[in-house]
Amino acid sequence: MNGGSGPRREVSYSRNVFLPVTNLCRNRCAYCGFRRDPNDGAWFMSPAQVLELAKRSKVAGCSEALLTLGERPEVHAEAKEKLEAFGYGSTIDYLEYLCKQILELGLLPHTNAGLLNERELRQLRRYNASMGLMLECAAELPAHAQSPGKDPKLRLEVVKTAGKLRIPFTTGLLIGIGESSENRARSLLAIRELQAKYGHIQEVIIQPFVPKPNTPMATYAGPSEGELLATVAMARRLMPEMNIQVPPNLVRDLNQFLLTGANDLGGISSVTPDFVNPEQPWPSVAELRAAVERAGFVPRERLPIYPRYVKDEKFMSREVRMSVLALADEDGYRAC
């Protein structure tokens, strides 16, 4: 957990810009409202579009550039054509270019690109302060029947490989997509095992499923607040020293989540919406800090790389380290 005068005393968050590089994806998760087909509202952001948003976010005071996209978009001919038009042979090469440019702007990239192999993780590590992949669930679920990239064994392998490469990593659970309480426990234990071996998992997100219109699970009820609180409590019990994150725009009683064991609220943006849950606006920084203080905790702004890893050069490339040190204070948090 973060530092401070006592357990869970500090609650961290970051200020980011959400860069949805493309919503083309090879997976067809039954709950996803982000993914689009080529003839149904798909996009692929150009370098100019990405960097214009990044520049705006730098002016707005952000430190994190969150690059999110569908997995293996090249399965669609339209994605290949876009990449070729941009001058790149693969999504990974394109992401490497974008992250390098973003890092040079003084922002710290954090990329979520789905399943990646060791070569791809190594390639992106050079210009990313941290990376992430939601495990979602360690059990196979009907919601993932048409999603080859959601095989839990493959996703755990990515988290493991990131550990071998010393990449500060984010993962977590998606709650309410058909999993049982036992599935959740097994998922957390799988994460705990990898963390014990490699020490690279900087946070575990407990995220609720939010039903989306025009998806197979549109009529499903999301998880109850009680289910979410119980999962946060389980995560805290199983991993006492882990940073446990809940998205502040997706939970109702933030006070209860902080008292139950959550100590991080993820990235919030004044520049872009949450493109995965656009109907759920983020709180402002002032609103977030006030809510944390009302709950009796101390808000601390962090970078996309957590303080522990800021202080350990083994978890950063030379390029990333230079940018991180320019933004961090002596405790490894965001400098004022």
**In the chain, what are the domain boundaries?**
10-274+283-327
Domain 10-274+283-327 classified CATH 1.20.58.220? no
Sign of the torsion angle spanned by Cα atoms 8, 273, 91, 206? positive
Structure tokens at 143: 């919601």
Position 9 scores a pLDDT of 86
Residue 251 contacts residue 280 (beta carbons within 8 Å)? no
Residue 266 contacts residue 285 (beta carbons within 8 Å)? no
Residue 238 contacts residue 206 (beta carbons within 8 Å)? no
Matching residue, tokens 């490699």: 198
Position 336 scores a pLDDT of 80
Position 110 scores a pLDDT of 98
pLDDT means per 10 residues, the chain with 336 residues, are 53 98 98 95 97 97 98 97 97 98 98 98 98 98 98 98 98 98 98 98 98 96 96 98 97 94 96 94 96 95 98 96 96 94
Structure tokens at 23: 């919503």
Enumerate the β-bridge partners of residue 136: 173
Position 280 scores a pLDDT of 94
